[in-house]
Amino acid sequence: MTRMIRLSVAAAALSCTMATPVFAQDVTVSADELAAMRAQLKAMNDRIDQLEGELAAAKQTNEAQDVTIAAATEAAQAKPEPAPAEELSKSDGWSFKPRGRLMFDAGFTSVPGSTGRSDGFGNEVRRARLGASGDIPGGFGYKFELDFAGNEVEAADAYLSYSDGPIEVIVGHQNNFQSLEELTSSLHTTFIERAAFTDAFGFERRIGASVTYNKGAVLAQAGVFTDNFADTETNNRGADARLVFMPKMGDTQLHFGGSIHYNDLAEDGATVRYRQRPLVHFTSERFINTGNLDADSEFGLGLEAAAVAGPFHAAAEGYWQTVTMPGAMEDPTFFGGYAEAGIFLTGGDTRGYKGGKFDRSKPANPLGKGGLGSLQFNLRYDYLDLNDAGVLGGTQNGYLASLIWKPNAYVLFGVNYGMLEYDNAVYPTADGDTSYTVDAFGVRAQVDF
């Protein structure tokens, strides 16, 4: 109420209790009546004060509701992109999260016609993986995945884990600790296939037990292993160890690592074979190949380095694989490695890195949320030498380029080109030349959850 309203009410009350000048001389107001009028005026003033208080409180409530609604709207607009599969958890420590990925590749290879090797269009479901992971009470966890690509069912990760602070122990079918490129998930690599040496030297998941220490900028990993799920009848016994130093300098993530590996074939008549495709997996042709080599054991050494700075990243690795051959005057040592650099062409994007390996890259401006997603361009030199100590498996120099578009964090489309130069190729041309070039082009469509 305003002061004017108060004065109007008081004036009205007085006019009802006082006589007009004509009758003033005939009216007498007693003290009791005057006191009653004053009480009525006070009661009206008190009621006016009460109504003013209620009005002010209602106004404050409305203003608070407006602020709350505005804050909720702003929070909803700023909410990060949700993961496509949510983890189901229980209060007693159990959790379950479905996992999966689907990768479809297509493209072509171009091979010198006089070699007699097949080329042209090819396509395949590269990976079709389903599984689950989660927690078990007491610090335990699990992960299990099956891959249905290639008309076969193969186990990928399948293990039980235990974590206590910086320590993690894993028992089961798992990756060995052989390379930054190998340990980076196929979901997050920059090319349609990993570096040539990882496949040529037979890097794969194996059954075993491992321990990982990860604290601050230090990562140490070690384990003992037998063989892959598909080769449990072999007597292979191996050990792997990897040490990584991963400091941050301002906003730049650095990575320096090394690894050591030993695999005892422990079987009479055991052999190994090192060979590799020209970039894409949908061709079965391999132009460098050692053939089967009698072997007692394998010994490997790896070095790795990488950096991520804003939209830029760079990585390089080298790996030496020595084969102990029974009766050989000299044991051959083969070498593979790569160097690459990449840049995001879209603002605000950077390559993911976590726990000693590259991780998921999440577009700063996803498609449908005010942007077009992320666009990344990469170049790589990839080298593999399978010649040594009388073994003539050939050399491969790969010059590769890729363009990756991610409309959101879980969908990817990639285009890859590779020019592969061979020396001492295992398939000569019609005139006996073993030095020539193979071109490979591949595209990938990928989704995961």
Residues in Cβ contact with 117 at an 8 Å cutoff, skipping those fewer than 6 apart: 111, 285, 287, 427
In a domain, 81, yes or no: no
Spatial separation of the C-alpha atoms in residues 66 and 73, rounded to whole Å: 11
In a domain, 53, yes or no: yes
Q: How far apart are the first and last CA of the chain?
A: 62
Residues in Cβ contact with 129 at an 8 Å cutoff, skipping those fewer than 6 apart: 99, 100, 101, 102, 145, 146, 147, 148, 149, 156
**pLDDT score of 107:** 98
In a domain, 83, yes or no: no
**pLDDT score of 71:** 52
Spatial separation of the C-alpha atoms in residues 101 and 82, rounded to whole Å: 17
**pLDDT score of 243:** 98
- Report which of residues 81 and 356 the model is more confident about: 356
* Domain span at 43: 3-76
Strands (E), 62-176: 88-89, 95-110, 120-136, 140-147, 154-164, 167-174
Per residue in 301-331, pLDDT tens? 999 999 999 999 999 999 999 999 998 999 9
The CATH number given to whatever domain includes residue 289 is: 2.40.160.10
Helix, strand, coil fractions of the chain, as percent rounded to 5: 20, 50, 35
Q: Are residue 147 and residue 44 in the same domain, yes or no?
A: no
- Report which of residues 61 and 331 the model is more confident about: 331
Note whether 315 and 306 are within 8 A (CB). yes
Q: Given CA atoms 37, 39, 40, 41 in this order, what sign does their dihedral have?
A: positive
Q: Are residue 144 and residue 260 in the same domain, yes or no?
A: yes
User: Which residue matches tokens 């009028």?
Assistant: 37
- Report which of residues 44 and 387 the model is more confident about: 387
Q: Are residue 278 and residue 344 in the same domain, yes or no?
A: yes
- CA 1, distance to chain mean position in Å, is 63
Per the structure block, which two tokens stand in for 47? Answer: 């009621």
Residues in Cβ contact with 51 at an 8 Å cutoff, skipping those fewer than 6 apart: 1
In a domain, 279, yes or no: yes
Per residue in 167-183, pLDDT tens? 999 999 999 999 999 99
In a domain, 155, yes or no: yes
Residues in Cβ contact with 35 at an 8 Å cutoff, skipping those fewer than 6 apart: none
| Poorest-pLDDT segment among 12-21, 235-244, 386-395 | 12-21
